[in-house]
Amino acid sequence: MTTLQDCRARDAADPLRTLRDLFTIPEGVVYLDGNSLGVMPAAAPARIAAAVTEEWGTQLIRAWNSAGWFDLPQRLGDRLARLVGAQPGELVCTDSTSVNLFKVLSAALKIAGEDAPQRRLVVSERSNFPTDLYIAEGLCRERSYRLQLVDAPEQVAALLPQTAVLMLTHVNYRTGAMHDMAAMSAAAHAAGALAVWDLAHSAGAVPLDLNGHGADFAVGCGYKYLNGGPGAPAFVWVHPRHAQRFWQPLSGWWGHAAPFAFTPDYQPAPGIARYLCGTQPILSLTGLECGLDTVLAAEPLGGMAALRAKSLALTDLFIALVEERCAGHGLALVTPRDHAQRGSQVCLSRSEGAYAIVQALIARGVIGDYRAGDAQMPDILRFGFTPLYLGFEDVWNSVDHLREVLVSEEWRRLEFNQKNAVT
């Protein structure tokens, strides 16, 4: 049996515990939603204020050069590349994940169309995050491809001979289940298909090796585990073998080889810069820079490998404590127990009251979230574990509150059963 004292001892021995000081966490809050919106880096308010008052306020338009605004998407991309197994010059921070997915899927379909025109399928999972499916559906309609959804990863293999692009999200947003990127990319390549990856729940959460694991294209979120702030710019990575082959269709002037030549015709910039579109949101990129600083601050302490080891220890502990202390209350573990198949979140399903239980926990300061179930799965209580700012005592406290909410049936109160617009 794990005790509160055990958890405190693990925190005291944790070499990453000082990283929590890089964040502003409200008193009394245990934040288990960094998989949706990361905690604010303590440096962000002053840094963003400086970008406003010093850079915008005094340097005005000169700041595009003097404050380095112009190449901020590339500079941040080079730093983020270190976290995802990419090289400098292969990645830019820009636009949203949805928009970046449109760009890379367009490029992938164009390449596949030239190399293997008889392949007409884009294959993905029914359980993928809806924006990915919506973007793919739109593009497939436009380009006369068919979006084929599978219910289980094992069904992918049979479709690969007709597949142009395999489009997967590395860590599933609802279940926390993680794909083997190397194996799935290799299977796609062996069959002659391209592999597009969404890293929304992976970047900053699990070690990644885009080049080593055979990805062709990747996109991901800046506001989740990268702590970039609400609506922070996302990122886009293209394997160097593809980067020069096609200009993505959102061919705005920021992706031009010489934007300030103002020529009437489009000449794509070399490499990943052509994946930029229009003028970049500098204040939001500044927030993302603060977020990246927090993840990169782990580098001297073992980097992504150390963060991953702690994340698994936190999620293992959470699972064990829920099973020890909340048994008999109708919770079922949805997230895989196998470390190789688990992202940095734990999802529990419950046939009744999942939304209200999450609301009752939030009222107690334990912030997780809820995702609706479907025909295959009851409603889900979702808890994300960001090892940068969470400790083992936080895990203990969160399960303690969960137990109290369940035992007292506090969640039945009317106020916890009224749904907000954003769940």
Q: Is 169 in the site for ligand PLP (CB under 6 A)?
A: yes
The Cα 142–Cα 100 span in angstroms is 17
The smaller minimum CB distance to ligand PLP, of residues 267 and 341, is found at 341
Q: Which residues partner with 380 through β-bridges? A: 349, 371
Is 33 annotated in the active site?
A: no
Q: Which of 198, 216, 369, 394 binds ligand PLP (CB under 6 A)?
A: 198
What lies within 8 Å, CB to CB, of 358 at 6+ separation is 368, 369, 370, 381
3-state secondary structure 232-274: CCEEEEECHHHHCCCCCCCCCHHHECCHHHCCCCCCECCHHHH
Residue owning tokens 């048994």: 327
Catalytic residue, chosen from 23, 31, 102, 129, is 129
Element counts in the chain: helices (H) and strands (E): 13, 13
Q: Return the number of the residue (235 or 318) whose C-beta is nearest ligand PLP.
A: 235
Q: Is 129 in the site for ligand PLP (CB under 6 A)?
A: yes
Task: From residue 267, give the alpha-carbon distance in Å to each of 89, 251, 271.
Answer: 18, 9, 12
Q: Tokens 């609706």, residue?
A: 372
Cβ nearer to ligand PLP, comparing 14 with 369: 369
User: Please, what is the minimum distance in Å from the beta carbon of residue 297 to ligand PLP?
Assistant: 24
Per-residue x/- track, 342-371, ligand PLP (CB under 6 A) = ------------------------------
Confirm whether 198 is a catalytic residue. yes
β-sheet bridge partners, residue 171: 178
Site string for ligand PLP, 212-231 (x = CB under 6 A): ---------x----------
Instruction: Report yes or no: 84 and 90 within 8 Å, Cβ to Cβ.
Output: no
Answer yes or no whether residue 379 interacts with ligand PLP by CB under 6 A.
no
The correct pick among 8, 56, 70, 131 for binding ligand PLP (CB under 6 A) is 131
Q: Is 398 helix (H, G, I), strand (E, B) or coil?
A: helix
Identity of the residue, 45 or 231, whose beta carbon is nearer to ligand PLP in the bound complex: 231
**Is 382 part of the annotated catalytic residue set?**
yes
Our CB check for ligand PLP shows the closer of 369 and 410 to be 369
Catalytic positions: 129, 198, 223-224, 382
Q: By the criterion CB under 6 A, which residues form the site for ligand PLP?
A: 96-98, 129, 131-132, 169, 173, 198, 200-201, 221, 234
